Copies of this chain bind each other. A is one copy, B any other.
Amino acid sequence: MGSTESTAKPPSAALKQRPISFVVLGMLRLGARSGYAVKKATDVSTRFFWPTSLAQVYPELAKLERAGLVTRHDDSHGNRRRSRYEISEDGTVALRRWLRSTRESPPQFRDEGILRLYFADALPAGDQRVLVRRLRDRAGRLAAEWRDDIVPLALALEQATGLRYPAVVARLGADTAAFVAERLSELEEELDS
């Protein structure tokens, strides 16, 4: 087993403040140790309001290390490179500063389904109903995913570590998804009468 360390630190080579940096920093703080683990963690949590891909996470970790916001512990086996990361003091400070900052990129929402609904007047009544039904189904599945997968995981995390906000966000997401699903059900019934 390899084991070298690295904590090279030019006083903190100012890194650009992009949300992806703080997703990574935040997930390290919640206990993720590898790039792979960061990505896995986002897939059951921040995916719904800030999706990521491995092709973002790995380069980001490299940047954060260069900026001194994370420390890397080399853990390679033979040919296979592997690293264990931890958030540094500077990293924790940077994370808190971002959490307190008020400048943020405008929320972005893109949904081809709702876009179709907006233009649905161009369809005959039967097809309008098919469309609404499909949207309602989709909303129901999303609500079920929040309720059955995301919320339980967040609650387990809260039990295990005392971290509250992942569960707060999960509940907000679950309730909102359920609300939308319910609204679309109502719309469906309205169209059938």
Contact = CB atoms under 8 A, between A and B. Distances in A.
A112 B21 CA distance: 12
Nearest to A98: B116
A29 interface: yes
Contact of A19 (B112, B128, B134, B179): B112
A21 B34 CA distance: 41
Given A105-B110, A112-B19, A29 B119 contact: yes
B168 A187 contact: yes
The prevalent SS among residues of A at the interface is helix
Given A100-B123, A118-B165, 8 more contacts: A19-B110, A49-B109, A50-B115, A95-B122, A99-B127, A109-B109, A176-B176, A176-B180
Interface in A126-166: 127-128, 130-131, 134, 163-166
Copies in the complex: 2
Interface in A85-114: 92, 95-96, 98-100, 102, 104-105, 107-114
Contact of A115 (B22, B30, B164): B22
A127 B100 contact: yes
Interface in A17-39: 19, 22-23, 26, 29-30
A2 interface: no
A171 to B, nearest CB: 8
A112 B26 CA distance: 13
Nearest to A138: B107
A15 interface: no
9 contacts: A26-B119, A49-B109, A50-B115, A95-B119, A96-B127, A109-B110, A172-B183, A175-B183, A176-B176
Contacts of A165: 117-121, 128
Interface in A39-86: 45-46, 48-51
